[in-house]
Amino acid sequence: MTYDAGRNLLWVGHYYATEVGKINAANGSVVATKSLGTVRPYGLDMEDGDLWVADYSGKNFKCFNPADMNVAQTINAPGAWSYGPGHIARADGRSYSAQYSDYDIYKLDPGSGAIQKSFAAQDRLYYYYNHLEYANGSLWQSRYTQPRNVIHEMNYGNGALLNSYRIGDWPESCYIYDLSFANSNEVWLLMPLAEESGGVSGLLEEF
């Protein structure tokens, strides 16, 4: 998921359906969906009006023109990665990513995709992060394991943990899967909720 400030839209990727959808951020209605062919979107981010997609199956990052969804640029993920990219955060000439089943976050060259620096994960409890986001001069992340209802703020230069913010008092079956900043004061969270009946529902919250 990523917030499109210029259009007041939320872009949401569907990994298994290989498509993205546009949601009206004002009322939550679905504006349109678009097939990406073989591209499996694992992470989305907006930069300068363009939509960036971390393509897990293609092991690369694709830049789409939101108007016609044509590919404007492709950057290959680092060749040493055994899995495709899971997440992407691009802003202000910076590019960060994490790959599926990996403990670390990587700062990448925004043009070539080469690794410039790696940041060790905070509290190595499981394999991967749920999402990365660059906003307000910091790198933000949510993670897969407990506490799963916490957002971590990291220094974008050295990877140091700056703050941790607990969002709500949900049971551990709930977790923050995705986050996207609308501006310096608002963040959207995407949470799959495991219910007592065993069913799963999706929820978008604005904080």
Contact of 170 with 149, CB cutoff 8 Å: yes
Position 148, amino acid = R
pLDDT digits (tens, 9 = 90+) for 61-116: 999 999 888 999 999 998 888 888 888 898 878 888 888 777 788 899 988 999 99
pLDDT (0 to 100) of residue 127 = 47
| 8 A C-beta contact, residue 54 and residue 90 | no
In degrees, to the nearest 5, what angle opens at C-alpha 178 toward C-alphas 122 and 111? 80
Structural domains in the chain, sorted by start: 2-206 (2.130.10.10)
What average pLDDT score do residues 143-153 get? 74
Which pLDDT value is given to residue 126? 46
Q: Which residues of 136-154 are buried (b: 16+ CB within 10 A; e: fewer)?
A: eebbbbbbeeeebbbbbbb
Retrieve residue 28's tokens: 């939550």
pTM: 0.84
pLDDT of residue 121: 63
